[in-house]
Structure 1
């Protein structure tokens, strides 16, 4: 008889088997591991609570969670983490603030990479931390491609029971108004929204298809950050373009597409190709 650990390992390995994509239904996974659907469903719920898998709120299908990918990064970096690390280090060197890489996990912004600042007074999330999407720069930047209905669905629980700073949006209408402005200019700013004295700026990162996959942001004390929001946004746009270029390289080698550096300005949520 196999152990519980062996059953969990077989279930996690089933996510990568067959080349059927990243998302899997409970029935498909049950067939893959030869178990009852109810048993696999219970295992998936336990893994979801531990952050090892996550369920799409619309399709109800499962995919591997970023907690698992962060854990695996110590053995071998994913393409995103590998591409982002040097860019984050350059941001820290040029701004003096903490730089973070975040992805969407359910209805949360989830930090997967952090580069420290040498400043004695530092701020920002840590790897493995989940944050609300409505009142953080990383969270709102992750919502740039979401329509209003999806934004409301992802944030309604947090807006109903707000645990945030004094400047955070308190209603869906206020959130959408703020998000529409940030989407047009290409970066999000959250000042005094998570907590008093903290300001952060976030810029989205896209893959070669234009899909928003992550956000790079810097966080620091409002006393240092508030006078250089535009400068910070420019730095982050450069870093996001560097990450996107690094992510495109394997795709370009595979397709024969000529390599080219993506350029960005803080205005506009999508990267602009050089003419």
Structure 2
């Protein structure tokens, strides 16, 4: 399926070697995948010895259902993340320069974070807000950073310097996820990653977190890798065909 999704990217025609290189797999494996897709009719071999899509994909596209809501698209991924981590999960949708909490899963441990749905959060603090901010366009980021002095300072760890927050956003883009280390609640830590729509725009974010006593640096790193995978799964439900937000 990853090979098939490759054809949604330019130039839309690939040799087995090019598929192997892009997906970092063995050439023989890439060739077998392409032959399987060719056998069922999704791709054909063109005159330049590269594979291209066939009109069969148009038949599938015609059967595609209208875009679902973010809550519906994320439901199974949130359930899986809860079972895998046992920590509190939060789902946010973007509303201009804020995120709004629209769904959550309560942690399974006796001591856990408690969140409220419907709260609106600016994008300067918290794992999900900072994850969303990091992947906005430069113009959108600049507009928000210019307003930073007017945003609430929740704790002594809340960012107040545009330059310092800009540096943190650079790290987030490289790493693929944001870390909240007491910048909203001094006793809480978590990680968050952005959710993209079919056009590659940030449409929301998802986070997982817990008490600082349990969220060690190693634990945050482990959860960070997992939250990127979860966010990417949800993004795929919205037609996003790009890679996970990691370099």
Do they superpose with TM above 0.5?
yes
* Alignment check: 8 A CA contact 1:162 1:170 kept: no
1:206 matched to 2:206:
no
Map of 2:221 onto structure 1: 230
Give me the whole-angstrom Cα distance separating, in 2, the residues matched to 1:134 and 1:197.
Answer: 18
1:244 matched to 2:223:
no
Map of 2:161 onto structure 1: 171
Give me the whole-angstrom Cα distance separating, in 2, the residues matched to 1:245 and 1:105.
Answer: 20
Map of 2:27 onto structure 1: none
Runs (4+) of structure 1 exceeding 6 A deviation are none
Following TM superposition, by how much is the alpha carbon of 1:103 offset from its aligned partner in structure 2, in angstroms? 2.0
Give me the whole-angstrom Cα distance separating, in 2, the residues matched to 1:209 and 1:153.
Answer: 22
Map of 1:48 onto structure 2: none
Following TM superposition, by how much is the alpha carbon of 1:158 offset from its aligned partner in structure 2, in angstroms? 4.6
Give me the whole-angstrom Cα distance separating, in 1, the residues matched to 2:196 and 2:136.
Answer: 14
2:131 to 141, 150, 156: 141
Following TM superposition, by how much is the alpha carbon of 1:161 offset from its aligned partner in structure 2, in angstroms? 5.1
Give me the whole-angstrom Cα distance separating, in 1, the residues matched to 2:71 and 2:187.
Answer: 29
1:102 matched to 2:128:
no
Q: Let me know the Cα RMSD of the aligned residues.
A: 2.4
TM-score (norm 2): 0.65
Following TM superposition, by how much is the alpha carbon of 1:236 offset from its aligned partner in structure 2, in angstroms? 1.1
* Alignment check: 8 A CA contact 1:98 1:219 kept: yes
1:246/1:152 CA distance change after superposition, 3 Å: closer
Give me the whole-angstrom Cα distance separating, in 2, the residues matched to 1:132 and 1:219.
Answer: 18
Q: How many residues of Structure 1 are paired with residues of Structure 2 in the alignment?
A: 180
1:267 matched to 2:246:
yes
1:159 to 145, 149, 153: 149
1:124/1:181 CA distance change after superposition, 3 Å: farther
1:182/1:191 CA distance change after superposition, 3 Å: same
TM-score (norm 1): 0.59
Map of 1:215 onto structure 2: 205
For structure 2, the 5+ residue unaligned runs are 1-66
1:205/1:133 CA distance change after superposition, 3 Å: same
Give me the whole-angstrom Cα distance separating, in 2, the residues matched to 1:149 and 1:130.
Answer: 22
